[in-house]
A and B are shown apart, each in its own frame.
Chain A
């Protein structure tokens, strides 16, 4: 691990039961980066994120948080440093936005340390940062997908961790809400100086928002670094098996992946049949 990394894994073997997803995997998340992990389905990117978040114990190797084995640390201690927005979260029926966000304070409370004004302030600030302040007293069940995802992010923010991991935060959202969530992540990264690690499906989004990109295939890291250098036609072909051209995103100047058209489609639509 490099010196300016607080979170990473060394020689990780990751497996569910007996199915090995990754072997001898090493990654380092640069401090204060917005790191995005990409790769085809089942390449192990979410598994890697879960291992980094301590929700999956590696079969071999070590996940290091601030230089220490993450499994040697106490759950609560980790939860004050590192937050996770999992893919599958359940909002209890009838819970209000403010109550759900307040549950992010869990690692800061205890039997003897109950709800405080500081907790209250953090919850309010988290809701304001994600733009859900006006929804505070609404039941989460009634919100749109995009609003709900912002509420979950607010809950993770209320945990007040300098590192925040997000597992496919844009899945199931329509394109406008995807951009809304990613813009929010970028703001949290730039304005609050948090280190973000997100698993994303969309290469274009990854190239646009990431400051550091990790490309995975079959449980291996194929390439990592600045997306402007990493995202090439050869890499996309290697990682996703997708022939493509790379052009410049007219908005941001970041690489934009344009898949090659199927032969015969270039000059116009092919007759049905």
Chain B
């Protein structure tokens, strides 16, 4: 029931959003809603769910409440790969970007794990390695943008995280990856619950840590790669939503993951709508809004602990 009510909440937000989009008479209005608002909303739902669930999975996997696909450099990896493909190969569509984004996400996931100590990886070392790679990769993305005017043009909104590129092609391109990632992630809820008790305890319960890790990393890569290819790096959603949800559900991932999948899109669409209202007559990119709102919120969470 709670899930349902939140889902309805999301719908209402989209209604508000649709309503804000209506500035012209009936028929063009229809076109605006059909061609722009609807795919944009769908993409927001998909990307939001992807980021929220990916964040919750990362936090469970690393047993680190600060873990987040953003902090661990996965989104940065996807971004760097997309920027490279745009500047060097002239790729300009989501259909092309998604493969590079997935590749970038995989490479950085492996790299962070290797730099973070491989088998002896601790949550702290992973976070440090991720933060370092994050910084390097984003400087790289900025450098590519500054050196290549055409790439800058194509990726200007994308680099801060935006739903502005949304059309049905984008939605159709990323939807299978995100849905697959969500399925794999949700299937991992119970095993991850066991893994949360420590590797030995998980094995004693009959769970298989290596298999669980591999599955979870696959899910996170799919979710982050697809979300980043479509919207660029949107920060704080993956970090913040699991914290908010945990306050409601406790640490049980069988509840936490579905709630995150529902609440994160609400937050993302909310931020997107806010960005459009605040930024009139243009708009503020949703990635900027989540950063501006998420930063202080997160500081509050940290201070409360």
- Asked if residues B206 and A92 are in contact (CB atoms below 8 Å), the reply is no
* Residue in contact with B194 in the complex, picked from A95, A96, A106, CB distance below 8 Å: A106
Evaluate whether A106 and B196 lie within 8 angstroms (CB atoms) in the complex, with A89-B201, A90-B63, A94-B250 already known: no
A30 smallest CB distance to B (angstroms): 21
Q: Note all chain B residues with C-beta closer than 8 A to A83.
A: 204
Bound form: Cα–Cα A99–B208 in Å: 21
**Interface members, chain A 152-176 (any B CB < 8 Å):** 156, 159
**Interface status of B200 (Cβ within 8 A of chain A):** yes
Instruction: Decide if A103 touches B193 in the complex (CB within 8 Å).
Output: yes
A74: chain B residues within 8 A (beta carbon)? 206
Are B193 and A80 in contact, with the CB atoms below 8 A? no
| Contact A159/B205 with A94-B251, A106-B190, A109-B190 known, Cβ cut-off 8 Å | yes
How many chain A residues have a CB neighbour from B under 8 Å?
A: 36
Assess the A99–B205 pair: CB atoms within 8 A: no
Per the bound structure, the CA–CA distance linking A80 and B65 in Å amounts to: 31
Residues of B within 8 A of A106 (CB): 190, 193-194, 205-207
B197-A103 in contact (CB<8A): yes
B88 to chain A, nearest CB (A): 42
Q: How far is the CA of A104 from the CA of B199 in the complex (A)?
A: 14
CA distance A156 to B251 in the complex (A): 19
B208 touches A75 (CB 8 A): yes
Smallest CB gap from B200: residue in A = A86
Residues of B within 8 Å of A85, CB to CB, are 204
For the complex, give the distance between the alpha carbons of A91 and B246 in Å. Answer: 15
Is A63's CB within 8 Å of the partner chain B? no
Distance A75 CA – B202 CA, assembled complex (angstroms) = 10
Query: Which residue from A88, A92, A96, A103 sits with its C-beta under 8 Å from B205?
Result: A103
Q: Does A76 belong to the interface (CB within 8 Å)?
A: yes
Q: Are B200 and A103 in contact (CB under 8 A)?
A: no
**Would B203 and A55 count as touching, CB distance under 8 A?**
yes
Q: How far is the CB of B211 from chain A (nearest CB, A)?
A: 10
Residues of B within 8 A of A93 (CB): 65, 251
Q: Which of A92, A93, A95 gathers the greatest number of chain B CB atoms within 10 Å? A: A92
B198 at interface by CB-CB < 8 Å: yes
Q: Are A84 and B200 in contact (CB under 8 A)?
A: yes
- The reply on A53 being an interface residue by CB < 8 A is yes
Return A109 CB to nearest CB of chain B, in Å: 7
The answer to whether the Cβ of B252 comes within 8 Å of any Cβ in the partner chain is yes
> How many angstroms from the CA of A103 to the CA of B194 in the assembled complex?
7
Whether the pair A90, B196 counts as a contact (CB closer than 8 A) is: yes
Contact A80 B197 (CB under 8 A): no
B200 and A55 contacting across the interface, CB-CB below 8 Å = yes
Which chain B residues in 177-216 approach chain A with CB under 8 Å?
187, 190, 193-194, 196-201, 203-208
Chain B residue at smallest Cβ distance from A91: B197
Closest to B196 in A: A92
A168 CB, min distance to chain B CBs, angstroms: 12
Over the window 19-37 of chain A, the binary record of Cβ atoms lying under 8 Å from chain B Cβ atoms (1 yes, 0 no) is 0000000000000000000
Q: Determine the chain A residues whose CB is within 8 A of the CB of B199 once the complex forms.
A: 55
Q: Which residues of A contact B251 (CB under 8 A)?
A: 92-95, 99
A54 within 8 A of B: yes
Minimal beta-carbon separation of B170 from chain A (angstroms): 33
B90 vs chain A, min Cβ distance (A):
46
Determine if A107 is an interface residue (Cβ-Cβ < 8 Å).
yes
The interface residues of chain A lying within 8 Å CB-to-CB of B187 are 111
Residues on A with C-beta less than 8 A from B200 are 50, 53, 55, 84, 86-89
Q: How far is the CA of A74 from the CA of B203 in the complex (A)?
A: 11
Residues of A with C-beta under 8 A to B204? 53-55, 79, 82-86, 156, 159
On chain A, the residues within 8 Å of B252 by CB distance are 95, 99
Type the 1/0 row for B241-261, where 1 means its CB is closer than 8 Å to any CB of A.
Answer: 000001000111000000000
A184: B residues at CB distance < 8 A:
none
Q: B63 — nearest CB in chain A belongs to which residue?
A: A90
Contacting residues, chain A, for B63 (C-beta < 8 A): 90, 92
17 contacts between A and B (CB under 8 A): A53-B203, A55-B204, A79-B205, A84-B203, A86-B204, A87-B200, A88-B198, A89-B200, A90-B63, A92-B63, A93-B251, A94-B251, A103-B194, A106-B193, A106-B194, A107-B206, A109-B190
Taking Cβ atoms with an 8 Å cutoff, the residues of A that contact B are: 50, 53-55, 74-80, 82-96, 99-100, 103-104, 106-107, 109, 111, 156, 159
